């Protein structure tokens, strides 16, 4: 079992999916990616999650982000589950689901937590950037559904802060003020941020998010 840490290269793999066989890195291409795992097909909480991911695909597309799910069941079982998801969630699952019946990808990404279950994947989320670096990991208990608004919020923050010398404060949402990172001096900030900035403390300076 690997322990995937922030900044690591996302392990590559080849796998069967509901849209055919893929090479993970090639499939990502120049996009961002959300990889999220499920304990098993035909599980209630995960059914709601896969439906929500499908409904949010336009938002992911706008962020140049691909979505891919994983479960330890087969492609055939995935297709049957997709029929249920589409019916129950009033949507169309429009992204691949990985057949990890061999559990190879689960082992590669450390998705099996023996103290929780030695046969089912935990409900993990990995955000991977276009350089194939892991930028975020979440692990949820089986009883708690994921918050996809938070996943989108993190991608928006990562893309903004990759481009500018900024960080995003607590509960930040797109369009709200950002924090100027400490390595930027006030003199530099005056040149960098045309709308100016507010000094709360010498180490806490706020500025409008760049348009």
**The token pair that represents 80 in the structure block:** 């049957």
Nearest 5°: the CA angle 184, 180, 178 is: 165
For residue 130 the two structure tokens come to 């276009």
What is the phi/psi pair of residue 200, to 5°? -85, -50
Give me 5's structure tokens.
């840490």
Q: Strand 166-167 and strand 178-180: pairing?
A: antiparallel
Please state the separation of Cα 16 from the chain's center in Å.
21
Q: Is the dihedral of CA 27, 28, 31, 34 positive or negative?
A: positive
Residues 159 and 105: their CA atoms lie apart, in Å, by: 27
Q: What whole-number distance in Å separates Cα of residue 137 and Cα of residue 202?
A: 31
**Which candidate in 33, 46, 65, 178 is catalytic?**
46
**Helices vs. strands in the chain: H and E counts, helices first:** 7, 11
Active site residue 33: no
DSSP state of 165: S
As annotated, the active-site residues are 46
């Amino acid at each position: 079992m690997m322990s995937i840490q922030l900044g690591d290269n996302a392990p590559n793999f080849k796998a069967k999916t509901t849209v055919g066989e893929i090479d993970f890195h090639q499939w990502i291409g120049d996009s961002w990616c959300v990889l999220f795992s499920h304990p098993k097909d035909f599980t209630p909480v995960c059914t709601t999650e896969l439906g929500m991911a499908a409904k949010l695909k336009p938002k992911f597309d706008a962020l140049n982000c691909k979505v891919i799910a994983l479960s330890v069941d087969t492609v055939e079982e995935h297709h049957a589950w997709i029929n249920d998801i589409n019916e129950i969630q009033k949507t169309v699952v429009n992204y691949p689901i990985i057949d990890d019946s061999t559990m190879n990808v689960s082992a590669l990404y450390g998705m099996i937590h023996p103290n929780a279950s030695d046969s089912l994947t935990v409900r993990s989320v990995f955000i991977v950037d276009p350089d194939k670096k892991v930028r975020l990991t979440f692990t949820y208990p089986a009883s708690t559904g994921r918050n996809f608004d938070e996943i989108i919020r993190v991608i928006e923050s990562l893309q903004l802060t990759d481009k500018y010398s900024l960080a995003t404060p607590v509960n930040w949402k797109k369009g709200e003020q950002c924090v100027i990172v400490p390595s930027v001096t006030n003199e530099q900030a005056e040149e960098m941020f045309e709308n100016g900035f507010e000094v709360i403390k010498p180490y806490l300076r706020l500025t409008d998010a760049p348009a």
